Structure 1
Amino acid sequence: MNAITRFLLDRSSEPRLEAPAPPKAVLDLAFKCAARAPDHALLRPWRYLVVEGIARAELGELFAATCPEGASDQEQEKARKSPLRAPMVIVGIATPRPHPKVPEIEQVMSAAAGMTLLSLALSDAGYGAMWRTGAVAYHPAVLKGLGLAEGESIVGFLYTGTVASAKPEVPRPACSDYVEDWAGPGLSNPWPI
């Protein structure tokens, strides 16, 4: 097994993050890796916002504004504090544009692939990352507050920083649980692994 495969098999989401956040040089390299995502027609259908310091509290205010009417103070405070769980939050934004050969969904998937590569590059540099979405990623108040244009969408919030503590190993499914051979219409057979 080569080092890349071992790295991928060891990858995990890291929910316990603390300062320091990745420095600019590490971020720049990670964003260069993100730009290597599959990108049909080289549309570059993505952009990123880096949220640090006091801006995380402002992001928390946007999150709190998404709480439904009648939400408890505790629910609002939980939403408000959410971006403070890491020293940096990177917002991944899909920026699809009309193209005769590249449907919008392919462009959104390209942006999501970029987030994956960004996460892997940060992990390789020794930082932890946790990709989060939830209702806040789709709420109009958050989209407007972050300055998204019409047609843009959030593919995720990548929380990143230094791993504060190890977490238990997460059990992984066997390939046979989610992979099967396809032999033609109506002839699909489970993959014998």
Structure 2
Amino acid sequence: MDALELLLNRRSIAKLSAPAPEGVALENIIQAGLRAPDHGNLQPWRFVIAQGEGLSKLSDILLGAAQQENSEQAVLDKVKNAPFRAPMVITVIAKVSEHEKVPAFEQYLSAGCAVQAMQMAAVAQGFQGFWRSGKWMFHPSVHQAFGLEGDDQIVGFLYLGTPGCEPMKAPKRNLSNFVEFM
């Protein structure tokens, strides 16, 4: 797939199955994330890959947070099952450094760009994925489980696997709704 076609037709696919990327394909995905824009060359990223038993560990972390909030059973069930929607989930963390010229905000954006690049690298290699966030990525017990410190922040969970369906066509958007010239 040509790069421009990939970017212009990006769609998330939530129906994912095994296999997940591995070997060179997974390395390419991570390397793409490491090419995200990075003001100050701070390398403000950390990637935690969950697959197999790791998905159960991620499930336990998220479930623990939901239980601490006294969530209803339906929420607990949803949270517990969430990591199993794909054979791999990469938790992308903005590893924030104190820097006089590069505020935390820019470092969060850089980590977000890493997620996008990783998803596009997966699609370019025949895999698919979707980027999820949600309130649990801000929960103190989730932060503790991932060893976050200071201004560190999870920017998302990138679910990856083999597409279980064809992506819907990307909708055409009217540029005039989003663009203005000075």
TM-score (norm. length: structure 2): 0.92
* Structure (1/2) with the larger helix percentage: 2
Higher gyration radius (CA): 1
Say yes or no: does 1:62 pair with 2:90.
Answer: no
Say yes or no: does 1:133 pair with 2:146.
Answer: no
**CA-to-aligned-CA distance 1:159-183 (integer Å, 9 cap, x gap):** 000001124335343111111123x
Q: Find the counterpart in structure 1 of residue 37 from structure 2.
A: 38
Instruction: Report the Cα distance in structure 1 between the residues aligned to 2:168 and 2:29, rounded to whole angstroms.
Output: 26
DSSP 3-state at the match of 1:113: helix
Instruction: Report the Cα distance in structure 1 between the residues aligned to 2:70 and 2:39, rounded to whole angstroms.
Output: 45
Q: Find the counterpart in structure 1 of residue 146 from structure 2.
A: 146
Q: Shift of the alpha carbon at 1:98?
A: 1.1
Q: Find the counterpart in structure 2 of residue 177 from structure 1.
A: 177
Q: Find the counterpart in structure 1 of residue 115 from structure 2.
A: 115
- How many residues were matched structurally? 181
Instruction: Report the Cα distance in structure 2 between the residues aligned to 1:168 and 1:123, rounded to whole angstroms.
Output: 14
Say yes or no: does 1:12 pair with 2:14.
Answer: no
**CA-to-aligned-CA distance 1:138-192 (integer Å, 9 cap, x gap):** 111111112222321101000000001124335343111111123xxxxxxxxxx
Whether the aligned pair in 2 keeps the contact of 1:17 and 1:162 (CA below 8 Å) is: yes
Instruction: Report the Cα distance in structure 2 between the residues aligned to 1:52 and 1:147, rounded to whole angstroms.
Output: 19
Instruction: Report the Cα distance in structure 1 between the residues aligned to 2:164 and 2:155, rounded to whole angstroms.
Output: 25
Which of structures 1 and 2 has the larger relative contact order (alpha carbons within 8 angstroms, sep 6+)? 2
**Amino acid of the structure 2 residue aligned with 1:99:** H
**CA-to-aligned-CA distance 1:78-129 (integer Å, 9 cap, x gap):** 1100000000000100011111211111111111111111111111011101
Whether the aligned pair in 2 keeps the contact of 1:93 and 1:156 (CA below 8 Å) is: yes
Whether the aligned pair in 2 keeps the contact of 1:57 and 1:81 (CA below 8 Å) is: no
* Structure 1, unaligned runs of 5 or more: 183-193
* Structure 2, unaligned runs of 5 or more: none
Instruction: Report the Cα distance in structure 1 between the residues aligned to 2:177 and 2:81, rounded to whole angstroms.
Output: 37
- RMSD over equivalenced CA pairs, Å: 1.7
Instruction: Report the Cα distance in structure 1 between the residues aligned to 2:47 and 2:6, rounded to whole angstroms.
Output: 25
DSSP 3-state at the match of 1:181: coil
Instruction: Report the Cα distance in structure 1 between the residues aligned to 2:11 and 2:168, rounded to whole angstroms.
Output: 10
How do 1:63-78 and structure 2 match up within 5 A? 63-67=62-66, 69-78=69-78
TM-score (norm. length: structure 1): 0.87
Q: Find the counterpart in structure 2 of residue 185 from structure 1.
A: none
**CA-to-aligned-CA distance 1:54-96 (integer Å, 9 cap, x gap):** 2212211222223264433222111100000000000100011
Instruction: Report the Cα distance in structure 1 between the residues aligned to 2:167 and 2:181, rounded to whole angstroms.
Output: 35
DSSP 3-state at the match of 2:37: coil
- Report the CA distance shift for 1:19/1:151 in structure 2 as closer, same or farther (over 3 A): same
